[in-house]
Amino acid sequence: MPIRPEERHRYASNWPDISLRMRELADWRCEGSPTYPDCRAEGYKPHPETGSAVVLTVAHLDHHPENNDPTNLRVWCQCCHLTYDAAQHQQTRVRREHDEADTRDFVEESQW
């Protein structure tokens, strides 16, 4: 998954090397996620379910990019990674919308 610019500081300076090494160790295939344990989509080939080109990503199981212990990392296709992160993405979206609403309220009140 692309790293959002505001989160980049949380990743190790050698993250590209860590990510590459993990994908090499997985033989450039998805390792399967809890939702799709048998997924073995191959990098750069059509995904067996979606048909789209597979981009392999390296996921942090605990959602903490600072934790690069190999037991915390999994090589996943986009489908597996997005499914695994869906609940966290929803929480982030709700939090961001709440923060934006607070900012709008503050701006509107300060215009009085």
Residue 100 in tokens: 């934006």
**Tens of pLDDT, residues 2-45:** 788 888 999 999 999 999 999 999 999 999 999 999 999 999 99
Q: Is the separation of the CB atoms in 18 and 58 below 8 Å?
A: yes
Q: Residue 28: its pLDDT value, please?
A: 98
How many residues comprise the chain? 112
The pTM score is 0.77
User: How many CB atoms lie under 10 A from the CB of residue 59?
Assistant: 20
